[in-house]
Each structure stands twice: as structure tokens, then as C-alpha cells.
Amino acid sequence: MTDDHGPLTEGYDRTPQHSSHHIPKIMMMGLRRCGKSSICQVMFHNMPPLDTLYIESTSSPSTTVFSSFIDFAVVELPGQTNAVDPGNEELERLFTESGALIYVIDSQDEYINSLSNLHSIITRAVEVNPKINIEVFIHKVDGLSEDFRLDAQRDITQRVTDELLDDGLLNVPLSFHLTSIFDHSVYEAFSRVVQKQIPQLATLENLLNVVCQHSGIEKAFLFDIKSKIFVATDSSPMDVATYEICTDFIDITVDMDSLYTIDHSQTPALKAADTAFGNELDGTDPTFNKSKPIGSTTRLNNGLILYLQQMVKGLALVCLMRKESMPKIALVEYNIEFFRNALEQLRLLTV
């Protein structure tokens, strides 16, 4: 495949070693100003939510390549109502190449227009690729009261499914998420979207279950450090508060660590900040003094303990424990090592 992808491959994070043809894609669509760029900037480029006010709307598609347990590319299409005009081959090719389509609806605006836009997109997309997951983000819910949010979700779900039924489209893989860039909801939603794209998800979840059961861990997340997407979690029930404290804990660990780094620049081609996160830690560069993978532990006064250990490739395992498990910490660490090895092997299988 050497064909030109036109402007579709124009984007920030294009890493040279893999062209974005071969990695799974997640598409993002939605009307203008619904918040697509904001979501991408906040999730993948660490933009503070308030700064999204100054994002200019773009007219060409942009791609963010995202490297984690799996690699995937988020392709953001500019908002337009006639996106699904027949004969748009580029769009059709994207539908076939994508595992998920995120459609963003601005919940603070009249959403009737976007619903008809969404409907035509879904019909076109599933025609081309019946397996594509349709993920509807009911976005900017920070402006709505709790009741209003649920009403909006109920209303939108109803309308979308009704219309699809009228067309005889029964088994469209369709999910709805309430999101806002001002809290953790967009991270959780994006995590759920990404998880569906991971073929080894079941294996990862099983591994996490085993680790939890044998170490007195209440809840464990495998996080992507940079984006705060959780790639997997054990099967115990999860609540948003737990997720939030875990991501905040990652933040302080990373922030505190970056305040005390030693300049390793004497050793060639090794920048301390890069080695700690994201970059390959499994390279065979035998540099002494190389930055270690990081870990941290915090105690709260209600007996809760958070334990973080960096894994391969910018991933971190974050566990929630009770202080009663602390005497067994050696066992916990042993089991986490076991998990790390399993993770390595799983990765080796996939590359």
C-alpha cells in the first residue's frame, strides 16, 4: 500500500517507524464546535481544559498516533453535515479501517441536527463495515444538572435506536457515554472505547483478577501513563471516585518524579524524562545509571493504600489496597512482578 492518503495522514504525532496504515483506527466525527479537537488535545496532548477555548476549528482531518499496549490512530474529521455524500471514497476507506467511530454530540446545544447527521453516518458506516463500534459521546455535560444529563442520555438513546429500527438496522454495536473534558468522564469513556479494540483484553483482565485475588488488592488498573486511559481493570465493580484518585495519583507520581531527575545527557542519546515514560524501557542499551521505572505508594488516613508500579512501555499498574494488606507487601510485589512478566510476553506475542 503506497497510495497517498491525502491529508488524512497529516497530523502531529506521526511516528516514522510505522505508517498509520497498519494500525487500528478510531474515528472521531461530529458537527463543528462540538468538542472533538478539545477531547483530542486534552486526552493526548496534555492541554489544560480551559485552554481549549482558544482552539481554532480546523478544516482538514488530523491524525494522532497513540502508542500504548496497542498502537492506534485517532483520526479526527472536521465537522460537516454532508460528510456522507455518496462517492466519498476516502471516508469509506476510513470506515473499513476503523474499529470504532466516536460521534460527539454537544449536549449544551440543540442536538436535533447532530442526530440526523449521526443517523446518516451510522447507516453509511455499518453498510461498509458492519463490525465498527459506534460510540456516541454526549459531550459538555458539565453544563447540565445531574437529572438533565440522564434525561439527555435517555432521549438521545431513544431517538437514535428508534430511527435505526425504522431502517431495519437491528444489531448495530452502539454505546452512549456522558462526557466532559472538565472531569474524568471523557477519560473513562475513551478507555472503554479503546478496550474494545484490544484483542487481549480478556487475558489482561484475567491476569489482573489473579493478581488481585492473591495479594489482597481491592482494585487494580492498568493505565497508560500519558493519556490516563486504562487499558484494563480487574472485574470487581468500579466507581468513578476510585478511578479519579488513581489518575490523580499517577499525576503526582509523575510530577514529583520530574522535579528530581538527574541530567543523564553525558550518556549519549538518553534523556532522563524520555526514558521514564513512553520510550522503550526494554531496549538492550546497557547504560549504567539508567533511570529506573518508577513506583510510589501513598497512605490515606482511612486505611486506604494506593500502590503504583511502572510496567513496560509507558504503562503503570495502580492498585488499591487496605492497610491490612501491607504486611503482605512482599507478596504483592512478587505477584506484580509476575504480572509484569506476563505483560511482556503478551506484548512479545503481539509485535
Ligand X SMILES: Nc1nc2c(ncn2[C@@H]2O[C@H](COP(=O)(O)OP(=O)(O)O)[C@@H](O)[C@H]2O)c(=O)[nH]1
CA distance 89 to 26: 17
Cell digits for 65? 498516533
| Binding-site member from 10, 90, 155, 282 for other proteins (CB under 8 A) | 282
CB of 15 to ligand X, least distance (A): 23
CA distance 55 to 296: 35
CA distance 342 to 329: 20
Binding mask 223-252 for other proteins (x = CB under 8 A): ------------------x--xx--xx-xx
Pairing of strands 25-30, 98-106: parallel
| Binding-site member from 27, 34, 172, 232 for ligand X (CB under 6 A) | 34
| Binding-site member from 161, 206, 279, 297 for other proteins (CB under 8 A) | 297
Binding positions for other proteins, 91-110, rule CB under 8 A: none
CA distance 279 to 149: 40
198 Ramachandran zone, left/alpha/beta (phi>0; psi -120 to 50):
beta
Q: Which is nearer to other proteins, 2 or 54 (CB)?
A: 54
| 1 is a contact residue toward other proteins (CB under 8 A) | no
SS3 77: coil
Half-sphere exposure for 251 (CA within 13 Å, toward CB):
10
| Binding-site member from 30, 61, 99, 314 for ligand X (CB under 6 A) | 30
Residue 51: burial class (beta carbons within 10 Å; 0-12, 13-18, 19+): exposed
| 33 is a contact residue toward ligand X (CB under 6 A) | yes
Q: Which is nearer to ligand X, 104 or 319 (CB)?
A: 104
Strands (E), 188-233: 217-224, 230-233
| Binding-site member from 163, 340, 346, 347 for other proteins (CB under 8 A) | 340
Cell digits for 178? 456522558
CB of 103 to ligand X, least distance (A): 11
CB of 253 to other proteins, least distance (A): 7
Half-sphere exposure for 93 (CA within 13 Å, toward CB):
10
Binding mask 300-339 for other proteins (x = CB under 8 A): xxx-x----x--x----------------xx--xx--x--
| Binding-site member from 5, 13, 14, 55 for ligand X (CB under 6 A) | 55
| Binding-site member from 53, 170, 259, 351 for other proteins (CB under 8 A) | 259
| 145 is a contact residue toward other proteins (CB under 8 A) | no
**Cβ neighbour number for residue 300 with a 10 Å cutoff:** 10
- Tell me which residue has cell 489482573: 208
Q: Which residues bind other proteins (CB under 8 A)?
A: 241, 244-245, 248-249, 251-253, 255-257, 259-263, 272, 275-276, 281-284, 286-302, 304, 309, 312, 329-330, 333-334, 337, 340-341, 344
